[in-house]
């Protein structure tokens, strides 16, 4: 049999054939708290324009649950539940550079959502977002207007009249505004008839974040201090309830992190160790594996302390 060394054209043909075979990625995750394994198998198709996924859970007895097959692309995604025989369809399409439509449809319930996002090209930083449920009820769509320093949303919702418990349609207004103030960032947020004012001051070594809520008149503040380039201490205190929490964090490079803290509201002390970036993916971790160990110590019952761990591993085939 002719070898690739003797025939360079055969070697090139083998390399092309290898590139045409889509790579398969297998990811497994285990959480000792739930004793459930999660598995995901995926591969890219059509020169990485789409991705095919198969995922499922299984317990320590080997019983499989929640199997799902997904086809995901930029403009279309389909998620099919093999147990419920149900499909969730998501679509996205653009009309010109500044008009974007997205929709979601649940096959079994025959319900979904439709949204429209338009960027005002002549006003950078401004956009208008309209969304509604399907089948559409007899009410106005939720409208969100975004501008450079915040956003405001207006939504029609059911409101109960206190005197006779009747339900009427009313308009709900929510919004958030951010602005620089005294070398920090001031944020005013109004949501569900509650107003919250937050001020955030940060520099290279320290952060101080007081906040005030109305009508509850609740005052709290957070304090963060970087002790060294690898050590950081955080403290949060609620002046209304006298609850507080504290967290110490130390990093060892980008792949190792240690945390320890205490929460007075639940009277619980804890410590955790991360191997791999806490907020990153398994593919960037050493040996493509993320591991977390956590120890929880209840203050009122130290004997019920629990050691938990979570492992996530990825294989590229």
Residue 16's pLDDT is what?
A: 46
- Give tens-digit pLDDT for 41-64: 999 988 888 999 999 999 888 889
Residue 5's pLDDT is what?
A: 52
- Give tens-digit pLDDT for 124-155: 889 999 999 888 767 788 999 999 999 999 99
Residue 163's pLDDT is what?
A: 58
Where along the chain do its domains lie? 22-72, 85-163, 243-317
Residue 12's pLDDT is what?
A: 45
Fold of the CATH domain 22-72: N-terminal domain of TfIIb (2.20.25)
Contact indicator for 73, 94 with CB cutoff of 8 Å: no
Instruction: Kindly write down the DSSP assignment for every residue of the chain, as one continuous string.
Output: ---TTT-HHHHHHHHHHHHHSPPEEEEEEEETTTTEEEEEEEEEETTTTEEEEEEEEEETT--EEEEEEEEEESSEEEEEETTTTEEEEEEEEESSSSEEEEEEEETTTTEEEEEEEEE-TTSTT-EEEEEEEESPPSSPPEEEEEETTEEEEEEEEEEE-TTT--EEEEEEEEEEEEEEETTEEEEEEEETTEEEEEEEEE-SSEEEEEEEEETTTEEEEEEEEEEETTEEEEEEEETTT--EEEEEEEEETTTEEEEEEEETTTTEEEEEEEES-TTS-GGGSGGGEEEEEEEEEETT-GGG-EEEEEEEEEEE-
What percentage of residues in the chain have a pLDDT greater than 70? 89
Low-confidence ranges of the chain (pLDDT < 50): 1, 12-13, 16
- Give the pTM: 0.76
- Give tens-digit pLDDT for 220-246: 999 999 999 999 999 999 998 899 999
Residue 181's pLDDT is what?
A: 86
């Amino acid at each position: 049999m002719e070898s690739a060394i003797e025939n360079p054209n055969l070697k090139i043909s083998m390399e092309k054939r290898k590139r045409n075979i889509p790579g398969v990625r297998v990811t497994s995750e285990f959480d000792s708290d739930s004793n459930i394994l999660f598995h995901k198998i995926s591969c890219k198709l059509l020169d990485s324009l789409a991705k095919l996924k198969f995922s499922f859970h299984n317990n320590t007895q080997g019983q499989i649950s929640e199997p799902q097959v997904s086809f995901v692309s930029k403009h279309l995604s389909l998620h099919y539940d093999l147990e419920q025989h149900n499909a969730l369809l998501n679509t996205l399409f653009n009309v010109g550079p500044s008009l974007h439509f997205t929709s979601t449809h649940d096959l079994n319930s025959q319900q979904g959502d439709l949204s429209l996002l338009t960027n005002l090209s002549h006003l950078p930083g401004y956009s208008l977002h309209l969304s509604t449920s399907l089948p559409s009820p007899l009410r106005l769509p939720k409208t969100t207007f975004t501008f450079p320093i915040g956003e405001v949303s207006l939504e029609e919702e059911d409101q109960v009249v206190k005197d006779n418990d009747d339900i009427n349609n009313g308009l709900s207004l929510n919004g958030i505004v951010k602005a620089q103030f005294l070398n920090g960032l001031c944020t005013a947020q109004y949501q569900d008839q509650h107003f919250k004012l937050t001020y955030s001051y940060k520099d290279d070594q320290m952060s101080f974040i007081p906040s005030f809520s109305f009508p509850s008149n609740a005052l709290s503040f957070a304090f963060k201090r970087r002790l060294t380039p690898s050590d950081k201490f955080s403290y949060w205190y609620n002046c209304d309830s006298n609850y507080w929490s504290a967290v110490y964090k130390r990093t060892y490079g980008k792949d190792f992190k240690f945390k320890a803290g205490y929460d007075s509201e639940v009277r619980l002390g804890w410590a955790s160790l991360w191997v791999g970036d806490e907020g990153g993916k398994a593919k960037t971790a050493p040996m493509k594996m993320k591991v977390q160990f956590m120890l929880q110590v209840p203050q009122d019952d130290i004997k019920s302390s629990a050691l938990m761990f979570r492992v996530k591993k990825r294989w590229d085939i």
